[in-house]
Amino acid sequence: MRVSTLLAAALLISAPAFAQQSGDVANGKNHFDNDGCWQCHGYGGQGAALTGPRVARTALTFDQFLNQLRHPANAMPPFEAPIVPDATARDIYAYLESMPKPPEAKDIPMLYATKGK
């Protein structure tokens, strides 16, 4: 008991957990669904081959995430502070971090009926 409580406390101060705590997930979802993110990354942040990569449970740090919004690597439209302030970006980041783990291909037999490779 005591050990797991300690573990949980330790996890809380790791970077993603900290971000999650400091961002408002509900507000993040609201912005993800209304500020255009869904268009290219999908409503579930799952990504789409030709419009934008997966962002659900992003592996980026918040700084890297913010940097992508402000200075996109390539084709993504820039989201600068006047339209997505840092605090909103933090909420969106928290929402992405909070997204549920997707199923794995191995658990979906139907996917193995497809292309015979």
Binds 68, which of other proteins, ligand HEC, none (CB < 5 to 8 A, cut-off by type)?
Answer: ligand HEC
Residue 15: CB minimum distance to other proteins, A: 23
Residue whose pair of structure tokens reads 């490779």 in the numeric block: 117
Q: Give the dihedral sign, CA 29/30/31/32.
A: positive
CA distances from 102 to 44, 77, 89, 107 (A): 10, 27, 23, 11
What's 41's DSSP letter?
A: H
Q: Does 35 bind ligand HEC (CB under 6 A)?
A: yes
Q: Does 42 bind ligand HEC (CB under 6 A)?
A: no
Q: Which of residues 47-76 bind other proteins (CB under 8 A)?
A: 47-51, 54, 56, 72, 74-75
Residue 26: CB minimum distance to ligand HEC, A: 16
- Return the structure tokens found at 42: 């999908």
Q: Does 76 bind ligand HEC (CB under 6 A)?
A: yes
Give the SS3 label for residue 15: helix
Binds 46, which of ligand HEC, other proteins, none (CB < 5 to 8 A, cut-off by type)?
Answer: other proteins
Interacting residues with ligand HEC (CB under 6 A):
35-37, 39-41, 51-53, 55, 58, 60, 65, 68, 72-77, 79, 84, 92
